[in-house]
Amino acid sequence: MHEWALAESVLTAAVETAEKEKLKKITEIKISIGELQQIEQDLFEFALNEIIKQQDKMLKNVKIIIETEESVLKCKNCGHTWKFKDMQKKLKENEAEAIHFIPEVAFVHTRCPRCNSPDFEITIGRGVSITSIKGEK
């Protein structure tokens, strides 16, 4: 499962940040998942928990909060904005899966619903990121 690699990157980044901030323990990690990447949250949480079990005490009993962020796209050509979920149903299975792995291939497989331009941007809700970390010094 590809979610494992993303979970691993979240926890590696969290530990790196905690070390920079000289935290002895991480108590809470808040994670945002952008809708565009279509992460399977169950798999992602399973991977997080499995990796935490293998990690040192810095992550012991850490509270993980996962929030999903709606994905909003904006056309650079005509200015139209739209949500990924509005167009998700029109995607073929292989196209949706490609966007799951590499969200930017949305520019390859989808177009602006108003003017059909491929020149749009992902305003919010691209992929996985950490929004906050809490810990003890």
For other proteins, the binding residues (CB under 8 A) are: 1-2, 4-6, 8-10, 12-14, 16-17, 94, 98, 101-105, 107-109, 118-119, 121, 126-131
Other Cβ atoms less than 10 A from the Cβ of 10: the count is: 21
Measured between alpha carbons, how far is residue 24 from residues 15, 19, 134 in Å? Answer: 10, 8, 11
| Shorter beta-carbon distance to other proteins: residue 16 or 86 | 16
At its nearest, how many Å lie between other proteins and the CB of residue 130? 4
At its nearest, how many Å lie between other proteins and the CB of residue 129? 6
At its nearest, how many Å lie between other proteins and the CB of residue 56? 16
| Shorter beta-carbon distance to other proteins: residue 25 or 100 | 100
At its nearest, how many Å lie between other proteins and the CB of residue 72? 16
d(CA 19, CA 117): 45
| Shorter beta-carbon distance to other proteins: residue 70 or 121 | 121
Q: Is the dihedral of CA 85, 87, 93, 97 positive or negative?
A: negative
Find tokens 């901030």 and name the residue: 21
Helix, strand, coil share of the chain (percent; to 5): 45, 30, 30
